[in-house]
Amino acid sequence: MSSAVQHTHASVDRPGRKTRSRRDYAVALPVWAAPAIAALTLLFAVPLAHNAWQSLTKEEATADAFFYYRKIISDPYYRGVLFETLSVSFIVTVLCLLLSYPVAYYLARHARRSRSAILFLLVAPLLTSVIMRTLGIRLILAKQGLLNALLDTVSLGPIPPSLLNGPFSVYVGIIHVLIPFMVLSITPVIQRIEPAIEESAVILGAGALRTFWHVTLPLSREGIYTGCILVFMMSNGSFITQLMLGAGKVVTMPVLIFQQFNVTQDTAFAGAMGNMLLIMTIVCLAIQSLLISRSRRPQ
């Protein structure tokens, strides 16, 4: 009897409507996204389209739409720059990964009290402009800078300026800027690996090294992919470091674009190079989503 009464109550409580849609609980309206969409269209999509249009129609592209693109790929100089861009990014990514993984592992597994301090040290540099930080590195690595002064006090000769100014400093600079992104990509993924899983591997006979190789590393793949792609793309797009620390010895795509826009004012060619970079970035993102969806397949 009492259950029958309850049933009646239940149906009275929900008059007519059988299911509630998410809309009933929504706080925001789709219209609210309008300013953001407008801004993106005006400041991003339109210039991008304009750029693409120019690179296909202006100057020497008037007769041959793909003139500039063909030039980038077939001209040995520009092909070299393209290769240099990719190789710098590749080396930066590998070094970043090697330097960041131990930090990420320590942060996820061992840091207790030092945790917030390490996180602060990782994030704090992001609050300063890249230019300021690169300038700082330039001062440290200058001919009579901090590094050489320190080496001098321990009676080690100064590092020759040819080494200080050039690829070495550029790598130091880019890696310095990008390491936080790698660490912050990997740490949460390692954190999600249950310690008991590694413990199981040890009890099943795997030593520390084999546990890392067979269990920890494969399970942190997702973070590694994300971090690597992020760092690779950001390195692809960086040019301030090359300009300030490279002494003209490291010429990558963005450096060339910067020169084309500001020095030669060849906007059509610069646009074509920009689009090349954009295509490379899109390919990177595609690879990332492919790798991650594959590593997620068992779940």
Which residues contact other proteins by CB under 8 A? Answer: 194, 196-197, 199-207, 210, 214-215, 218-219, 221, 295, 298-299
Nearer to other proteins, 209 or 263 (CB): 209
Nearer to other proteins, 84 or 222 (CB): 222
CA pair distance 61, 55, nearest whole angstrom: 7
Nearer to other proteins, 81 or 215 (CB): 215
CA pair distance 242, 171, nearest whole angstrom: 9
* Rounded least distance, CB 185 to other proteins, Å: 19
* Rounded least distance, CB 288 to other proteins, Å: 18
* Radius of gyration of the chain measured on its C-alpha atoms: 27
Nearer to other proteins, 159 or 219 (CB): 219
Give me the long-range contacts of 2-7 (CB less than 8 A, separation at least 24): none
Nearer to other proteins, 143 or 294 (CB): 294
CA pair distance 98, 87, nearest whole angstrom: 17
* Rounded least distance, CB 110 to other proteins, Å: 16
Which residues, 6 or more positions from 231, have their beta carbon under 8 angstroms from its beta carbon? Answer: 89, 92, 93, 96, 97, 178, 181, 182
Q: Are 268 and 59 in contact (CB under 8 A)?
A: yes
* Rounded least distance, CB 232 to other proteins, Å: 24
* Burial (CB count <10 Å: 0-12, 13-18, 19+), residue 111: middle
CA pair distance 137, 150, nearest whole angstrom: 15
Nearer to other proteins, 2 or 299 (CB): 299
* Rounded least distance, CB 209 to other proteins, Å: 11
| Residue 182 tokens, joined | 């790698």
* Rounded least distance, CB 294 to other proteins, Å: 11
